[in-house]
Structure 1
């Protein structure tokens, strides 16, 4: 009888504990992702990751007694639409924080809205201008593009590749990367011998590559997000170019290899987040355990491997959760302060240490150099 009473009491306690878990109210998280359109390879895993994390957190009782609610809109990669939806999230949906947008151009367009309305924005795009100069209400989770550029140039220096040909896309991400590479190249003693560009919707870059072939650089650096880089990779193969080809972190997902074709992509080198090669990281690596758990959870939820891009939303969620735990509040001002105070926060993209002077909080350790080998990523040591 006593045992039965104890079981009933435990059940009642569980019910009341579950109810009490959400006694502190609801935290509304806005999401702006390019779920459809050319940048869907970024936005789709970001959306799925945020939804997965919110669901999991609620099943465990929320965060600091708060239930979580994700209000997510598809921007289709359009900056004008992103601004309209950001306004809707703030004015109509009353969110306390926004995760996204997926691209640099969208993020730059949305920043004035976040700053004016005093709502923290955690961008999932890499352009350095998103957070430099520092803006009070704006943060981002991908490492700055100058970090990726420096990682490439340091690797090239080891291989005595000093004459560089650039081939960059004419959008926000490409323009920022081009600017950072040229500045760093000048500082580090490299020479940019060709500076070619292509449009986001261009479907053939053989003209630019033919010009580059005539100049005979030591290597080509392509900066963009798919499908352009995949097209360029195919064009390099078609032209029979033997010049080493480097890509930016903007293509650090298996989608790039799939679009370019494993044969054409063979040997391409790029900086990538550790998620791409987590299975060969030493167990002592601070991120190894979390990366393994994220990939396993994503595979269980969606039947596909987790991507670096989905990881940007994962990082944003962790920054928000960490801020809630620090401040015990869902108020935008408190969340902003908590995000800025993140220190040594282990996540997918790296170990974040934010400050009033740094709203990205990542350094060179956020990337590993990888090479496409037999249709997969190989860690370059």
Structure 2
């Protein structure tokens, strides 16, 4: 006997079987700062989204991208929209550390995994119930700071000045570096702060200059990381400049100009890829990403774009495991996805090798950094 169902009856039957908001594909929300003060970081991240994996575990992946204009308030609005209206299974972003700190609670309350391509380790450390839902695709401050402190000690530097953003990124760097410097016998003799939007840091630079430190560490991101350095150089500072991985982009070299020469920073291998041996497992992945980005956008990507690319690789790796437990669009799937991300082990990506644990949601070791300097206006591996 043939039984025929009307479309309305079939839809009603499916509604009883499928959980509310379940969908046939994995939905990923992406929030970037494609405009505003942090746009130099956010634009390559936005441009990277079309290069992210579109399939995993037999499921298609859809990305919904929103611009927060570098404003933490707009970041909150974008996150809430993606969580409550689009019902995304995971979030990539936001671009800035202060923005990421502002949305931790919303990711946690909704039970949505968040992969943040930001610098501040405070997004994932110390681990809390809220931060259990956050993961980081940028090297934690401690890994980068350790390389800089070791270089300072090796060069016989005794005194250091610090100038960093007056926000979560600068706070994190000041806290971590201060502790490491003290443990290494370095004397932090002057500390100054500035805003991402400042057009002048003359007052702060004069105070640093008066302290006469052997070296100065600048904790900024994007083109704004160049402002204290150019100002100090113009005022006659002759000591050594150190930068964080927040300065690892072409715009820093452009804006700092001759003042960048001799700068030391620690960042991913992407900055000095031609000098990296072919035996490095990340090299072919970086090469593929750069080639695809150039083919689409006509220019090389900044490392910040690669942080978003790695978020896509982490999700691609975790989704098949999560699908064994639940369907996309459900709380059960989001929790299974979070658990799968936390169990990531030895995943090779552009920024290094990820091995997450319940206590470490960044997962990098020393394979995630290279010590780099500026020579003849270009990034060069420091040997």
Asked if TM exceeds 0.5, the reply is yes
How many Å separate the matches in 2 of 1:289 and 1:227? 28
Q: Which residue of 1 aligns with 2:44?
A: 45
- Check if 1:72 corresponds to 2:65: yes
**Is residue 52–residue 313 contact of structure 2 (8 Å, CA) maintained in 1?**
no
Q: Which residue of 1 aligns with 2:295?
A: 300
How many Å separate the matches in 2 of 1:364 and 1:207? 37
How many Å separate the matches in 2 of 1:162 and 1:291? 37
Question: How far 1:236 moved relative to its partner?
Answer: 2.4
- Equivalences for 1:60-209 in 2 at 5 Å? 62-134=55-127, 135-209=131-205
- Check if 1:352 corresponds to 2:323: no
How many Å separate the matches in 1 of 2:121 and 2:322? 28
How many Å separate the matches in 1 of 2:222 and 2:132? 31
Q: Which ranges in structure 1 are unaligned for 5 or more consecutive residues?
A: 1-23
Residues 327 and 199 (structure 1), Cα distance of their counterparts in 2 relative to 1, 3 Å cut? closer
Q: Which residue of 1 aligns with 2:227?
A: 231
> 1:283-303: CA deviations, max 9, x gaps?
111211111111111111111
SS in 1 for 2:115: strand
SS in 1 for 2:28: strand
**Is residue 56–residue 317 contact of structure 2 (8 Å, CA) maintained in 1?**
no
> 1:136-164: CA deviations, max 9, x gaps?
21111101112211111111111011211
SS in 1 for 2:95: coil
**Is residue 151–residue 364 contact of structure 1 (8 Å, CA) maintained in 2?**
no
Q: Which residue of 1 aligns with 2:371?
A: 369
Q: Across the two proteins, how many residue pairs are aligned to each other?
A: 351
- Equivalences for 1:266-305 in 2 at 5 Å? 266-305=261-300
**Is residue 70–residue 96 contact of structure 2 (8 Å, CA) maintained in 1?**
yes
Question: How far 1:227 moved relative to its partner?
Answer: 3.4
Q: With a CA cutoff of 8 Å and minimum separation of 6, indicate the structure with the bigger relative contact order.
A: 2
> 1:252-283: CA deviations, max 9, x gaps?
0111111222x221111111111111111111
SS in 1 for 2:237: coil
SS in 2 for 1:227: helix
How many Å separate the matches in 1 of 2:122 and 2:211? 31
Question: How far 1:240 moved relative to its partner?
Answer: 2.2
Question: How far 1:230 moved relative to its partner?
Answer: 1.3
> 1:167-188: CA deviations, max 9, x gaps?
1110111111111111111122
How many Å separate the matches in 2 of 1:74 and 1:228? 20
